[in-house]
Amino acid sequence: MSNATYPNPGIKWGLIAAVVVIATGIALYYTDQPIFFSLRFNFIQLLICAIAGLLSGLEQKRRQGGFIGFKAGLQPIFMTFVIGTLAGTVLTYIIVNFVDPELPARMKAMDLKILDEMSKTHQGPGVTEADLDARLTELKQSDYSITFVRSMLSYFTGLFLDFVIAAILAAVIRRKRIA
C-alpha cells in the first residue's frame, strides 16, 4: 500500500487489527463461547489493537526518518484502536443479536450454575451464605442482553482505556531530533 493511499498508517493497521479481531472473535465463538462472551475477549482485542497500534506508530516513525513526536505518534496508534475496537464491538453485537440470540441466556444460565455449585461446595473465609445468596439473586436479575445503545456505550467507554494505552505507546516510540 502506497503512502498516497494511506497517509495515516493507523487506517491500514486499524483494518489489519479489525480483521484479526474479527477472526479471533469468530474462532472463539465457535470454540469457546464463554471466553467470547466475557471480558477476556475484550482483553484479547485490546492486545491485538495494541500490537497493531505499535506497528502503526513505528511505521509512521520510519516514514519520518526515525524521528517522531508524541502527537505524531499518537494519531496513527489511536486510529488503530478506534478501528480495531469498533470491529470487535460490531462483531459481538451481530453475533449476539442476529447469529445466536440465545447466547446471552446460555451464558447467564452457565454463570448461575457455576455460582450455585460454588455456593454448595465452598465458602471462602469471610464469605457467608447470605453473601452468596445475595450474589445469586443479583445475577438472576441481571440482564445479559447486548443492545445497540449498550454496545455503543461500551465502545465509547472502552476508547478511554484505548486512548491511555495509545498515549503510553506514543510516549514509548517518541524520538525527537536533537537540535
pLDDT at 1: 44
- Rounded Cα distance between 10 and 95, Å, is 26
The residues facing 68 across adjacent strands are: 175
Full-model pTM? 0.85
* pLDDT tens digit at each of 179 positions of the chain: 444 455 789 999 999 999 999 999 999 999 999 999 888 999 999 999 999 999 999 999 999 999 999 999 999 999 999 999 999 999 999 999 999 999 998 988 888 888 777 766 666 666 667 777 777 777 777 888 889 999 999 999 999 999 999 999 999 999 877 66
pLDDT at 58: 96
Residue ranges with strand state E in 47-102:
none
